[in-house]
Amino acid sequence: MENNTESNQNTERKDPKKEMPKKRLPAGQTPPPAGRNMFIWLMIFTFLVLWYIFSLNDGNGFFGGSPEIDYSHFREELKENNIRQVHVQGERITGELIQPRQLRISRQDTTFYNDFSTFMPSFGDDQLLAILEESGVRLSAEPESQNYWWYIIIFSFPLLLFLIIGFIFYRRLQAQGRGMMNIGQSQARLQRPENNKTKFADVAGHEGAKTELKEIIEFLKDPSHFQELGAKLPKGILLVGPPGTGKTLFARAVAGEAGLPFFTITGSDFMEMFVGVGAKRVREMFKKAKEMSPSIIFVDEIDSIGRSRGAGLGGGHDEREQTLNQLLSELDGFEPTENVVVMAATNRPDILDKALLRPGRFDRQITIDLPSQDTRVAILKIHARNKPLDEDVDFDKIARATPGFSGADIENLLNEASLLAGRVKRKSISMNDIEKARDKVIMGLEREGMNIDHDEKKLIAYHEAGHALVATVLPNADPVHKVTIIPRGRAMGVTQQLPQKEKYLYNKEYLLDRLAVIMGGRAAEELIFDTSTSGAQNDLQQVSKMARKMVMDWGMSEKFGHMSFGTNQEEVFLGRDMTKQKEFSDETAREIDEEVQKISREAYARAMTSLTKHRNVLDRIAKLLLEKEEISGEVVTSLLNHKEN
């Protein structure tokens, strides 16, 4: 499962055939410039026009309906006195036959023709006129220039195309020129205080950030008071946090609260086809902001311009570097007394250029974290304001069941729920809708039409029952929320556990139980069917990863004790730390592997012990799962307790 955060553990069987596509674009990726689209349309247009022109040439000659024949054929017809009249236009000769002739269109089909056309050879035909007169053919002629307009259109077409392209570029340049002159119009958007309705009340949580920014707003509005105390206004404030946690929303709320001119621009807006435009925009934006001070500038997704210079594969990006340099020099250039504050947001602080974070630039960092359980309740309340909800909707319960959800995820959850309710024409959203939406968001869509035969289904049921039973038996494991063998997303079945309350630290006992729970699926397969399946792939990966962390990072192995090897850097970003440093010998590496193996083996053994001891409960869970496809954690618990009575 993709979003398997430590607090939201789902143990699942993976269907290796289906991989879920990544939803988000990598940060900092810029959309293709609009010019490219235009170019493609132009190409299509050109193609169509050319196709039309050439389609006129349907084998009957380019310009008319009569079939073209060889000149010698024409002379033969003339010799046979089969020509009624001839019309000459330059080198082009059209005419009418007396006797129709057969014309072969394809292998089977033929047709007859009366009219024909042909071309006089360029070296001329001295005898033609004499022969025509002799055989009494009616002759007419006209100057050859008549048809030239066709030639003109065809040959001037490429020229026309160039003109059109040139015109479009010219327009774009002009538009940019205007954009640079007048920031309010296109790129950086100036928000007038009176138009902004977003307030801090629309943002749940982030209390620390709110306090801090309130202070800064007050400073901006009444600098003298603070300046008397010798305080200096911070120049740059960087909002850092995972996607969807409300950074952009928060910045908008700052604008709404401050009641000051507020310039927003998104990092990718700077990226244009023309080198130097981004830098100019930065310059203009700062100039404008200073003129209107006190004011706030907000650069959203700053990582798309602010990533480390000279790093990254594929060489540097001129435009980006220029824009970044300009931004840096603007930040340095203005004085704290100028009363402009620059805010920026990013979800990739790790790739930001160090120079941006130096004192006097973005030296204040505010972390916007994933919401806690309480904050999730608050976010739910905010987004449920304009949605009709049933009485039974319990925000606390939803918040408890959505660990690791961002604000945007919660908004999406409620939206999915209202879509579900709308689909069956209900007037309000029920708790059941929200539960269903949650399953959809976490586990993906139910896969319909999968033909799983009974034996396989039984295997899946026992696998999941294994996870669920071990989780219910072991004292430190998170309680089971739901077990399902309905295939969804990549998973053939899922056992969902939810923590009683959110955890920020994990102790060894918890981790060991967790490993045993994950091993429970594989253990059940072995116990019941005396076999193992590929469905446990994801389980085994999780076990190895966690066991290795326990040994190397968390100092939880017997052999090494409280020692960290600290090389287990999970995120290696392009262009930085390409080479991992290994600070221990091969001998130690081998010992680490042994410890990891030992932990996994013990986890498996513990799972197996629990399952063997409660074998008949395992059977009952699996049977019920086969029957109902989905059962709740409470049902599993009651099955276990009944047996114990």
By CB under 6 A, name the binding residues for ligand ADP.
203-206, 241, 243-249, 345, 379, 382, 407-408, 411
Q: What is the dihedral of CA 38, 40, 44, 46, to 10 degrees?
A: 70
Please say whether the beta carbons of 515 and 546 come within 8 A. Answer: yes
Nearer to Zn ion, 13 or 92 (CB): 13
Using CB distances below 5 to 8 A depending on partner kind, what does residue 498 bind out of Zn ion, ligand ADP, Mg ion, none? none
CB of 4 to ligand ADP, least distance (A): 21
CB of 203 to ligand ADP, least distance (A): 5
Which candidate, 507, 564, 202, places its Cα nearest to that of 381? 202
Nearby residues of 549 by Cβ (< 8 Å), 6 or more positions away: 568
Amino acid symbol at 547: A
Helical ranges in 269-426 per DSSP H: 277-291, 303-306, 318-333, 373-383, 395-400, 407-423
Which candidate, 474, 475, 495, 473, places its Cα nearest to that of 484? 495
For position 248 contacting Mg ion by CB under 5 A, the verdict is yes
Measure the CA angle with vertex 560, ends 555 and 562; round to 5°: 35
Per-residue HEC secondary structure of 462-475 comes to: HHHHHHHHHHHHCC
Using CB distances below 5 to 8 A depending on partner kind, what does residue 11 bind out of Mg ion, ligand ADP, Zn ion, none? Zn ion
CB of 244 to Mg ion, least distance (A): 8
SS3 93: strand
Using CB distances below 5 to 8 A depending on partner kind, what does residue 539 bind out of Mg ion, Zn ion, ligand ADP, none? Zn ion
Using CB distances below 5 to 8 A depending on partner kind, what does residue 243 bind out of Mg ion, Zn ion, ligand ADP, none? ligand ADP
Look-up: residue for tokens 């069941």? 401
Nearer to Mg ion, 248 or 533 (CB): 248
The sheet carrying 138-142 orders its strands as: 110-119, 92-104, 83-89, 138-142
Q: Is 464 an active-site residue?
A: yes
Nearer to ligand ADP, 33 or 243 (CB): 243
Could you say which of 260, 539, 556, 604 contacts Zn ion (CB under 5 A)? Answer: 539
Instruction: Measure Cα distances from 319 to 269, 277, 305, 474 in Å.
Output: 12, 8, 9, 58
Nearer to Mg ion, 303 or 513 (CB): 303
Nearer to Zn ion, 489 or 521 (CB): 521
Which candidate, 169, 188, 184, places its Cα nearest to that of 274? 169
Nearer to Zn ion, 211 or 531 (CB): 531
For position 11 contacting Zn ion by CB under 5 A, the verdict is yes
Nearer to Mg ion, 248 or 412 (CB): 248
Number of chain residues interacting with Mg ion (CB under 5 A):
1
Sign, Cα dihedral of 419, 425, 428, 431: negative
d(Cα 300, Cα 198) in Å, to the nearest integer?
17
The single-letter DSSP state of residue 281 is H
Which candidate, 111, 118, 112, places its Cα nearest to that of 92? 118
Q: Per CB under 5 A, which region of 5-13, 44-52, 246-254, 505-513 contacts Mg ion?
A: 246-254
Peptide bond into 294 cis (omega under 30): yes
For position 15 contacting Zn ion by CB under 5 A, the verdict is no
d(Cα 118, Cα 116) in Å, to the nearest integer?
7
Residue nearest to Mg ion (CB): 248
CB of 522 to Zn ion, least distance (A): 7
Print the binding letters for residues 196-235 with Mg ion: x by CB under 5 A, - otherwise. ----------------------------------------
Nearby residues of 280 by Cβ (< 8 Å), 6 or more positions away: 180, 326
Exposure of 641 by Cβ count < 10 A (0-12 exposed, 13-18 middle, 19+ buried)?
Answer: exposed
Using CB distances below 5 to 8 A depending on partner kind, what does residue 379 bind out of Zn ion, Mg ion, ligand ADP, none? ligand ADP
Nearby residues of 563 by Cβ (< 8 Å), 6 or more positions away: 555
Nearer to ligand ADP, 414 or 498 (CB): 414
CB of 244 to ligand ADP, least distance (A): 5
Nearer to ligand ADP, 243 or 312 (CB): 243
Could you say which of 223, 489, 521, 633 contacts Zn ion (CB under 5 A)? Answer: 521
Residue nearest to ligand ADP (CB): 407
Please say whether the beta carbons of 83 and 97 come within 8 A. Answer: yes
CB of 444 to ligand ADP, least distance (A): 21
The single-letter DSSP state of residue 557 is B
Catalytic member of 68, 321, 464, 525: 464
d(Cα 287, Cα 276) in Å, to the nearest integer?
17
CB of 347 to ligand ADP, least distance (A): 6
CB of 335 to Mg ion, least distance (A): 29
Binding site for Mg ion (CB under 5 A): 248
**Binding positions for Zn ion, rule: CB under 5 A:** 11, 13, 521, 539
- Annotated catalytic sites, by residue? 464
